[in-house]
Amino acid sequence: MNIRFRSRGWSFGFRSAIMLYFVLLIVLPILGIYTQSFKLGWTPFWESVSDPLAWKAVLLTLKLAIIATVINIFLGTMIGWVLIRYRFPGRRLLNSLVDLPFALPTAVGGLMILLLLGPNSLVGSFASGMGFDIVFHEPAIVVAMVFVTFPFVIRAVQPLLEEMDKSEEEASYTLGASKSHTFFHVIFPSMLPGISSGAMLAFSRALAEFGAVVLVAGNIPGKTLIASVYIFGEIESDNPQGAAAVSVMLLTLSFLILWAVNLVQTRRLGK
pLDDT, tens digit, 9 for 90 and up, residues 225-261: 888 888 888 888 888 877 888 888 888 888 888 787 7
Say yes or no: 4 and 104 in one domain: no
Say yes or no: 107 and 142 in one domain: yes
Say yes or no: 223 and 152 in one domain: yes
Assign 121 to helix, strand or coil.
coil
Say yes or no: 159 and 181 in one domain: yes
The CA distances from residue 61 to 52, 208, 258, 268, in Å, are: 14, 9, 18, 30
Q: What span, in angstroms and rounded, lies between the C-alpha atoms of 161 and 148? A: 23
Task: Residue 164: name the closest of 81, 73, 259 by CA.
Answer: 81
Please work out, in degrees rounded to the nearest 5, the angle formed at the alpha carbon of residue 176 by the alpha carbons of 171 and 178: 95
Average pLDDT over residues 131-147: 86
Q: What span, in angstroms and rounded, lies between the C-alpha atoms of 216 and 209? A: 12
The CA distances from residue 271 to 158, 189, 217, in Å, are: 18, 13, 43
Helix (H) or strand (E) holding 188: helix 188-208
Say yes or no: 122 and 91 in one domain: yes
List pLDDT tens digits, range 150-184: 899 999 998 888 887 777 777 777 777 777 777 77
Say yes or no: 231 and 259 in one domain: yes
Q: What span, in angstroms and rounded, lies between the C-alpha atoms of 151 and 51? A: 34
CATH number at residue 194: 1.10.3720.10
Length of the chain: 271
C-beta neighbour count of 112 within 10 angstroms:
16
Task: State yes or no: pLDDT of 214 exceeds 50.
Answer: yes
Average pLDDT over residues 114-126: 82
CA-only gyration radius of the chain, Å: 23
Q: What span, in angstroms and rounded, lies between the C-alpha atoms of 219 and 180? A: 44
Say yes or no: 109 and 87 in one domain: yes
Say yes or no: 18 and 127 in one domain: no
Enclosing domain of residue 264: 42-270
Task: State yes or no: pLDDT of 71 exceeds 90.
Answer: yes
Average pLDDT over residues 181-207: 84
Say yes or no: 212 and 241 in one domain: yes
Say yes or no: 66 and 194 in one domain: yes
Query: What is the pLDDT at residue 182?
Result: 79
Residue 244 C-beta-side C-alpha neighbours within 13 Å: 20
Say yes or no: 160 and 132 in one domain: yes
Say yes or no: 25 and 147 in one domain: no
Q: Please tell me the pTM assigned to this model.
A: 0.82
How many structural domains comprise the chain? Answer: 2
Average pLDDT over residues 134-152: 89
